[in-house]
Structure 1
Amino acid sequence: MGILLWIKAAIVAKYYDVLQAHQATAVGVCSLTITIMIAGFLILKVYLKDDKPQSKLPPGSLGLPFLGETLQFLWALKSNKPEEFFDERVKKFGHVFKTSLLSDPTVVVTGPSGNRLLLSNENKLVVGAFPNSFLRLIGIDSLMSRSGGEYRVLRAALMTFFSPEALQNHVRKLSLKMEQHLIEKWKVRQEINVLSMVRQLNIYSICSLFFSLEDEHIQEQLLDIFEVLVLGSMSVPLDFPGTRYRRALYAKKKLNIILSPIVQERRKHLQQGSASSDKDLLSVLLTVKDGKGNLLTDKEIVDNISMLIHGGLDSTTSTITLTLKLLSSNKGCYDQIVKEQMQILSSKKEGEVVTWQDTKKMQYTWQVVQETLRMFPVGFGTFRRAIVDIEYNGYTIPKGWKLLWSVHSTHRKEAYFKDPDEFRPSRFEVEEAVAPYTFLPFGGGTRICVGWEFAKLEVQLFMHYFVKTFSDYVAIDPDENITMDPLLPLPVNGFPIKLFPRS
């Protein structure tokens, strides 16, 4: 069975290669037809053949040929019920099961022990493994595609900007951007769409801190591009006219056209000595060297900036938007945030901004954000690839197979969080009270989100300046639903609110 599944995976890969290389020609149509006929014959053998009694593969279903169970998975995300996809299969097959997602046979491991297996064994049992269709949109030469020594060197380079020590140098600039945007764009309106305005604020902040771009026209272009990329990144990867995936591929080309000249111009300024090596993230990437002493290429820099914007733009937008939504129906919690932030504000002179030390005093604010991320995590989990045969829970996961861990196997489970559907920030009052490998909004291990400290800083500063600028707010539709189309939890109408400016 394992060999046949490997054949099926290889055929699927060939299917996409032929489709993308020849779809516009008659030869391509013929080649594609023959490929599909062969694929159909062999895949029928796979799907009609029962596992041999001695097989130690985890139980489960590989779904339909080519598609696997991808459609069921995407539907669960869109319905804001991602945990149901996992729960149904755990109930039927147990805490380890096989499925097929995005054309790859995949073993899903659930619960804290499954999370620990994948997150604590990087380069021992597994390596990072994102689908190639996803990497084509985010960046083939980004950190996400690296492993081993290449991954460690590139991550270390990025951490020269994203480490807590480095971020301290950017608090003032980010604070000024936040407050300026809230005053100039929010305070002048009685009603706003939170999702839209927070997304605008985030691209404004990211462009400024990542590559010192202040051109609002280009910022708007980037917003449009990343909206298409997000929609395409979790769609069925069919490169046909009119599909989300085809539109996303085109958007990635447009992104490269925008970012490449910015990279080239900054490289020239650095060579001429008219820009500093620590000016922003772009300067950092242009001056660091890989393990062989070589500078990063323009494409590597563009792909890593693309990855970081993709990872930070909508995830932080989702977190801020849903934090405000949850607080709107939990006024006691919001009042505690107001009290905490006003105490910090009372220690400031007129015009003085928040410091890194001030963010350490925002303990309750961070508890609220953590509870938001527990209830509505900004990712479902990540894929790994087995680099050896893995023995786990009495099963053998073959070398080369994909594996997946998911936050949805712990975040809303009574076994790990009492009354999991209740909004209760006090859960995080004592960090040790949360069991290991049960709360993983940013992943874990050596592949924990490289920008999570930056995201934390963004949300904390936003809440401070929101409280400083507005005395209160009211949800226009308190019962607005939340959807995950295609990936992030977001209010279906963007969470419109009425604002009450502080005098």
Structure 2
Amino acid sequence: MSTLIGIMCIVALLAICISHYWIMIRWRNPKFNNKNKKILPPGSMGWPFIGETLHLIIPSYSLDLHPFIKTRILRYGTIFRTSLVGRPVVISADPEFNNYILLQEGKLVELYYLDTFSNIFKQTGDDQFRPNAAGLVHKYVRSIFLSHFGAEILKTKLLNQIEEFVERTLFSWSNQASVEVKRAASEMVLNFSAKQIFSYDAEKAPFDLSEKYMKIIDGLMSFPLNVPGTAYHKCSKDKEKVTNMIRDMLKHRQNSPRKGHEGDFLDQIISDMDKEEFLTEDFIVQLVFGVLFATFESVSVIVALAFQLLSEHPSALQELTAEHEAILEKRENTNSFLTWDEYKSMTFTLQVINETLRLGNVAPGLLRRALKDIPVKGKGFTIPADWTIMVVTSALHMSPNAFEDPLAFNPWRWKDLEQHVITKNFTPFGGGMRQCAGAEYSRVFLSTFFHVLLTKYRWTKIKGGEIARSPILGFGKGIHIKFTNKHKIMVH
């Protein structure tokens, strides 16, 4: 009897090993189910379900391409396949193919998010706020965003408001021994954006909104395992608190006799609810949550990285400071507000911003889902329908073919770069029909911040600045800066 049990155990073990081996072989070597002999891009799928996710989220301590991307480009070429959080993905660092894909939305591809991001931003009541929402919805969202954050409102209203807000913020920073600027900049930008979106007042809020959003960001690149104690679970709970606050605010405004009094982003959406069927309560909550998320993270990262880069390159800081001091010298009243023409005159400032955006690569890539099989011209392989395509913007930004000595901080390079090179290889705000509507808002905020900083304050880096990309750009120990009001220096 014991011999029979032993034989059965051995047979069971062999069956498990064989099935495991078969699963591994099929997983790592997927094939097209067709008769046309289509070939997949080269690459590796990693382990079943997990794929190569763990390799992607291992921190890298450099502004260079994340090792996950760099080693695979060297091994397989600029277009390769992998698997991330259970999804087959084709990663592309090819400029021509990337530009082609970004122009094919609604034809060959649609917007897509990996599971963690998609689950955090998904609709709670219906499916109308999926990334592949209808063109009508996208057009409405873009239009309403531009009406509150676009060039015209920036020129007539927000520019002066941003300057006032930045002045108050920097004054507060100057009264502290030192400031961790990534966290402080996140709070600054988010509080200002939230004020425009739903008249947010940080002093009256039930919790620190910026803290919640920063925790949400920390969990976005985690494995979507909703178990207490995991980063994803914490991220989901923080998101729930924020959306509940937005939902309560929405209901209060709908039931208020002073309806429409604030005149902000949320008020306009409420006034449009009778005109647009897709403007359900759940949709509005997710939209407000998502728009606020989109307005602050990239700006705060670039503020922090700029401090690090400028502290290492005094010649760039000197020229940047001179540009802003020259603006004051040309004014009749040095205390007057920044004008739109003055903003547009900040040539070197824009070069510094572009170079910081290029090196920062805040988002690791842009994701699309293939709607049908996509042959890759000149490569001999095909991307299957339903696979995810990751357009790796960081690989374009770090290409020596487009940017000489790409790891060097060189804002002067932007004087001589040809427009077609910039168009194909510089996409910090996305591309195609999905190019970020907040691009001008981000540049105006950054330019205004530099103007107030460099004309009214002195700053010194105290400690920190170590890069920790995983793959979203971060700073392991933060960047700690001491700010001093120039007026106080002169008085003393």
TM-score where L is the length of structure 2: 0.86
Deviations 1:48-68 (A, max 9, x none): 657589441111111011110
| Mapping 1:245-256, distance limit 5 Å | 245-256=232-243
Distance, in Å, in 1 between the alignment partners of 2:207 and 2:316 is 34
Assess if the C-alpha contact under 8 Å between 1:239 and 1:246 holds in 2.
yes
Assess if the C-alpha contact under 8 Å between 1:139 and 1:304 holds in 2.
no
Secondary structure of 1:127 counterpart: strand
Q: Taking structure 1 as reference, are residues 50 and 257 closer, same or farther at Cα in structure 2, changes over 3 Å only? A: closer
Matched, 1:463 2:454: no
Distance, in Å, in 2 between the alignment partners of 1:340 and 1:187 is 23
Secondary structure of 2:424 counterpart: coil
Q: Taking structure 1 as reference, are residues 315 and 163 closer, same or farther at Cα in structure 2, changes over 3 Å only? A: same
Assess if the C-alpha contact under 8 Å between 1:163 and 1:453 holds in 2.
yes
- Which residue is equivalent to 2:465? 480
What's the offset of the Cα at 1:442?
0.9
Q: Which of 193, 205, 216 is the matching residue for 1:229? A: 216
What's the offset of the Cα at 1:420?
1.0
What's the offset of the Cα at 1:138?
2.8
Assess if the C-alpha contact under 8 Å between 1:386 and 1:403 holds in 2.
yes
Assess if the C-alpha contact under 8 Å between 1:95 and 1:111 holds in 2.
yes
Percentage identity across paired residues of the two chains: 27
Q: Which of 342, 355, 358 is the matching residue for 2:325? A: 342
What's the offset of the Cα at 1:78?
7.1
Q: Taking structure 1 as reference, are residues 86 and 218 closer, same or farther at Cα in structure 2, changes over 3 Å only? A: same
Assess if the C-alpha contact under 8 Å between 2:181 and 2:481 holds in 1.
yes
- Which residue is equivalent to 1:4? none
Letter in 1 for 2:41: P
What's the offset of the Cα at 1:453?
1.5
Secondary structure of 2:239 counterpart: helix
What's the offset of the Cα at 1:114?
2.4
- Which residue is equivalent to 1:402? 388
Q: Taking structure 1 as reference, are residues 252 and 189 closer, same or farther at Cα in structure 2, changes over 3 Å only? A: closer
- Which residue is equivalent to 2:118? 135
Matched, 1:115 2:102: no
Letter in 2 for 1:386: A
Assess if the C-alpha contact under 8 Å between 1:143 and 1:304 holds in 2.
no
Assess if the C-alpha contact under 8 Å between 1:157 and 1:288 holds in 2.
no
Structure 2 spans left out of the alignment, 5+ residues:
1-15, 488-492
| Mapping 1:48-67, distance limit 5 Å | 54-67=37-50
Matched, 1:390 2:370: no
Secondary structure of 1:57 counterpart: coil
Distance, in Å, in 2 between the alignment partners of 1:322 and 1:500 is 20
Alpha carbon RMSD of aligned pairs, Å? 2.8
Distance, in Å, in 2 between the alignment partners of 1:78 and 1:331 is 23
Q: Which of 429, 433, 452 is the matching residue for 1:446? A: 433
Secondary structure of 2:43 counterpart: coil
Distance, in Å, in 2 between the alignment partners of 1:345 and 1:289 is 46
Deviations 1:249-305 (A, max 9, x none): 111111112111222233345x755516xx222223223469x73362222222122
Q: Which of 64, 68, 93 is the matching residue for 2:76? A: 93
Q: Which of these two proteins has the greater Rg computed from alpha carbons?
A: 2
- Which residue is equivalent to 1:210? 197
- Which residue is equivalent to 2:261? 275
TM-score where L is the length of structure 1: 0.84
Assess if the C-alpha contact under 8 Å between 2:61 and 2:466 holds in 1.
no
Deviations 1:445-471 (A, max 9, x none): 11112212111111111111111321x
- Which residue is equivalent to 1:379? 363
- Which residue is equivalent to 1:302? 285
Distance, in Å, in 2 between the alignment partners of 1:358 and 1:394 is 51
Distance, in Å, in 1 between the alignment partners of 2:467 and 2:67 is 16
Q: Taking structure 1 as reference, are residues 391 and 215 closer, same or farther at Cα in structure 2, changes over 3 Å only? A: same
Q: Taking structure 1 as reference, are residues 253 and 78 closer, same or farther at Cα in structure 2, changes over 3 Å only? A: farther
Secondary structure of 1:391 counterpart: strand
What's the offset of the Cα at 1:87?
2.2
Matched, 1:171 2:153: no
Distance, in Å, in 1 between the alignment partners of 2:25 and 2:81 is 18
- Which residue is equivalent to 2:249? 262
Secondary structure of 1:107 counterpart: strand
Distance, in Å, in 1 between the alignment partners of 2:122 and 2:336 is 39
Distance, in Å, in 1 between the alignment partners of 2:207 and 2:388 is 37
Matched, 1:425 2:411: yes
Matched, 1:314 2:289: no
Distance, in Å, in 1 between the alignment partners of 2:474 and 2:220 is 16
Letter in 2 for 1:401: W
Q: Taking structure 1 as reference, are residues 426 and 73 closer, same or farther at Cα in structure 2, changes over 3 Å only? A: same
Deviations 1:392-438 (A, max 9, x none): 12211111111111112221121110111111101212463534321
- Which residue is equivalent to 1:154? 141
What's the offset of the Cα at 1:167?
2.5
Distance, in Å, in 1 between the alignment partners of 2:389 and 2:336 is 49
Distance, in Å, in 2 between the alignment partners of 1:131 and 1:201 is 29
Letter in 1 for 2:479: F
Deviations 1:140-193 (A, max 9, x none): 35474524343233323333223211322222222211111211x112134322
